[in-house]
Amino acid sequence: MIDLRSDTVTRPSERMRAAMAAAEVGDDVFGEDPTINRLEALAAARFDREAAIWVPSGSMGNTIAVKLHTEPGSELIIEERGHILNFELGAAAVISGVTIRAVKCADGGGHLAWDDIAPAIRKNPPYYQAATKLICLENSHNFAGGSVISADATREICDRAHSEGLAVHLDGARIFNAATALNCDVKELTRACDSVMFCLSKGLGAPAGSMLVGSKEFIERARSWRKRLGGGMRQVGVLAAAGIIALEDGPALLERDHRNAKRLASGLAEIPGIAIDPENVATNIVIFDVSNARLSAAEIVAKLKEKGVLAIGFGTQIRMVTHLDIADDDIDTALSAIKQILL
């Protein structure tokens, strides 16, 4: 199977498995797992922050950040296709008691500008309205087709948010993809944000785990919330050993995924009935529209599966994601399968 459903489907490499088997471990709830401690220090240094904490999933990292930046009965602002709004089962409402105010971005590319955000802010609202506490950004933006927002644009939003007394959390599940596409260091890309979550388990190739980075005080409070949410784990160095390899070696491997995504998009653009602009494919996510194809997205996905290619359909769109386990010639195979189905 050529599995293009997500970059979460990668299996740990032989090197990772060997490192996991050999990992030095201890009880992380007691702070005694040397391997997780090393990974947390590496992540903090990589982002030039005081501290970092490993969390079992990106969703838990985002949930903890939302909890720490808000108070019950307040609001957060996010672009309408954001992961925190659409794919985290209302965790912000359930765990943090906050309303999510979804806003559209004027340019359609998934990234908010200050002018999109400003009208939605409730700074000192009357007593019967909830106050805005937090802005959540996403880079790269998953359901906007892996689009990226630059360091300058991120900084502008953060600076203006801070001057309004608002915090900014970056859902950087794929921040290394964004940094690769922008040819920018993750430090520069994320410096202005109050907290950053990134996934080890996606393009970087670890079997599990994400990191939350921020100030020492923020991460200490995050540690209590992680435990409260059931995320306090014991000999987790077994997973951290894979995470260290993901963090050290993973970023350099993303460029190939981006090249493959671009080539996939260019091939798709030539197939009648498929709408996609390869120019808009900046990272490893390819989302194309099939409204004008002779089959529906669900039918195309089902036929692709028969041909050994897995993708995800939603509405009139199909998503394909390149990753470590997709070889260059898998792109050719996938393209010829789609051609057979649609021509």
Ligand X SMILES: *Cc1c(COP(=O)(O)O)cnc(C)c1O
Binding site for ligand X (CB under 6 A): 57-59, 62, 83, 138, 142, 171, 173, 199, 201, 210
Q: How far is the CB of 84 from ligand X (least distance, A)?
A: 7
Q: How far is the CB of 258 from ligand X (least distance, A)?
A: 16
Q: How far is the CB of 319 from ligand X (least distance, A)?
A: 11
Q: Could you tell me where the beta strands, DSSP code E, fall in the chain?
A: 2-3, 51-55, 75-79, 99-103, 132-138, 167-171, 195-199, 210-214, 285-289, 309-310, 312-314, 317-321
Check whether the bond before 291 is cis (ω within 30° of 0): no
CB nearer to ligand X: give 139 or 260: 139
Q: How far is the CB of 332 from ligand X (least distance, A)?
A: 27
Q: How far apart are alpha carbons 321 and 203 in whole angstroms? A: 10
- 314-338 burial, b at 16+ Cβ within 10 Å, e below that, comes to eeebbbbbbbbebeeebbeebbebb
CB nearer to ligand X: give 268 or 285: 285
Which residues are CB-neighbours of 52 under 8 A, at least 6 positions away?
40, 41, 43, 44, 211, 212, 213, 214, 219
Q: How far is the CB of 59 from ligand X (least distance, A)?
A: 3
CB nearer to ligand X: give 148 or 274: 148
Q: How far is the CB of 23 from ligand X (least distance, A)?
A: 21
CB nearer to ligand X: give 26 or 109: 109
CB nearer to ligand X: give 245 or 341: 245
Q: How far apart are alpha carbons 309 and 2 in whole angstroms? A: 5
Paired tokens of 243: 């995470």
Which residue's CB atom is positioned nearest to ligand X? 58
Q: How far apart are alpha carbons 280 and 19 in whole angstroms? A: 38
DSSP 25: -
CB nearer to ligand X: give 39 or 199: 199
